[in-house]
Structure 1
Amino acid sequence: MKNFKISSIAILLIAANTLTSCSKVIFKDTFNKDQLNMDNWSYEEGDGCPDLCGWGNAERQIYSRDFVELENGKLVITAVKDGDKYYSGKINTKDKVEFKYGNIEIRAKVATGQGIWPALWMLGADISEVGWPASGEIDLMEYVGKEPHTLYTSLHTPASHGETINSKKTTLRDIEEGYHIYRTEWTEDHISFSVDGNLVYTFTPENYDEKEYPFRKPFYFLINLAVGGNFGGPEVDDAIFPAKFYVDYIKVTKL
């Protein structure tokens, strides 16, 4: 009977720990369905006009949901050239999945080639009210094909945006090969980025005000594949198309 009681207690503790661990997941999408989960995601479409033509960066692509699909348990965003126009895809979780602080993990495979610009990023949920850059922006991962073997992790704030100083350019020789795990730890006091378990950049501001650290509020996700523009271009090698950006999963857990 004594052994039975000990075993029962052990089982209860394991069950409790399991429930606690599960409760820490804020958001998870493994893209294992036939269609994108519209309870989590929305499409962004068009060329950004009239308010933000070229999506604010002189990008060439026109976004369409036709270039966002789920395939073999992966989110696939494809960029193509059709005639003299470029098309690609962009999705976000605005008004659907918004959260403040957490450990963010994304497994993805970048699209490559001159003029291509895949990105995993976040914007403040109050962007409609305060605009950018007051909303803040967290660039979890950006890759531009014109700079092979290079990864960007950046923060945009009212104090530093556009060509922000809050940025790290990291050389990763195998970044174009297969999938990599991008992790971001977002806290009340700092934001740190790692790739495949290796820390690449930590941002800690000098002052915790809205100008230098507008990151103490809910944010939402964006995933897109841009073509050309001020950062991705300006030159584009049309021989690279179709170019594909793959995301295996995205997961957020509480700190």
Structure 2
Amino acid sequence: MIKKGFATAIMLLFLGMSTSAIAQEKLIFEDDFNGDSLDMSSWNYEEGDGCPNLCGWGNNERQIYDRNYVEVRDGKLVITAVKEDGKYYSGKINTKDKVEFKYGEIEIRAKLGTGKGVWPAFWMLGADVEKVSWPASGEIDILEYVGREPGMVFTSLHTPASHGETMNTKKTRIEGIEDGYHTYRAVWTEDFIEFFVDGKQVYKFTPQEYDEEHYPFRKDFYLLVNMAIGGNFGGPEVDDSIFPVKYYIDYIKVTQI
């Protein structure tokens, strides 16, 4: 009987890959949400409406973030958006000061929250955001979906050269994206950032110049997961009949080679 490890090595050699190359892949973060609560050694809650410094979280969003709308259940991270007593509530978490890294493959498997007015996202910010502010920090949007544009996935980058506007962006129509779980991945390198949905490339960004204005992505970043409501991107109209809306995350993984 051929042992599994030997068979794997033979297959890799057949594909022109060395076992040493595979061994160099480094898992630097993984959360499969199999516990019964959020792992606070990796995550932080963000709460409130952004006031007084960033009311509406800089986008005229309507929700108040509250940790009570973030839960880990049945092997999933679940963010729920609701409307209660005339106010919108949702959840937001990040890995600032706990999981920060430079370059890698960042992947999430998620089931979108849908309906007019919701805006689920998975993204990254430069760890120096409090020092240099935004957009000098840089922003990598691996997944954005807005219910007002069904069937569309947005992958975007924010830089000082774009003045915070989403000039470096791609909107991709994906049949059935609202149904079930899908994987969203970014390959972030020193020279480019490439985005994939279910293994298919949807956008690649290579800057015109490699300076802090055009490519502020050669430093540590951290992860964010949230579901906003309304706002400049989510849209001015919110269909209140959709609530509660749930955004499910099966896992988040970061590897480096």
Hey, what does 1:164 align to over in structure 2?
Answer: 166
Read off the aligned partner of 1:244 and give its amino acid letter.
K
The TM-score with structure 2 as length reference comes to 0.91
**Gaps in structure 2 of 5+ consecutive residues:** 11-18
Determine the structure 2 residue equivalent to 1:88: 90
Structure 1 runs not aligned, ≥5 long: 1-6
Alignment correspondent of 1:246: 248
Once the two structures are TM-superposed, the CA of residue 55 in structure 1 deviates from its matched residue by: 0.3
1:214-229 map, 5 Å? 214-229=216-231
In 2, the alpha carbon distance for the partners of 1:194 and 1:10 equals: 31
Give me the CA root mean square deviation: 2.1
Deviation sequence 1:131-153 (CA, Å, 0-9, x none): 00000000001000000000000
| Closer, same or farther: CA 21–242 of 1 in aligned 2, 3 Å | farther
Give runs of aligned pairs for residues 18-57 of structure 1, distance below 5 A.
Answer: 21=23, 24-57=26-59
Task: Tell me the CA shift for residue 200 of structure 1.
Answer: 0.2
Note closer, same or farther for the CA distance 1:64–1:254 as it changes in structure 2 (3 Å cut): same
Q: Which residue of 2 aligns with 1:106?
A: 108
User: Are residues 1:176 and 2:190 paired?
Assistant: no
Shift of 1:23: 6.1
Q: Which of 68, 93, 117 is the matching residue for 1:115?
A: 117
1:167 deviation in Å? 0.2
Q: Deviations over 1:103-144 (max 9, x none)?
A: 111101110000000000000000011000000000001000
The alignment's TM-score, normalised by the length of structure 1, stands at: 0.92
Cα deviation for residue 83 of structure 1 reads 1.5
**Aligned residue pairs, count:** 246
Residue identity (%): 68
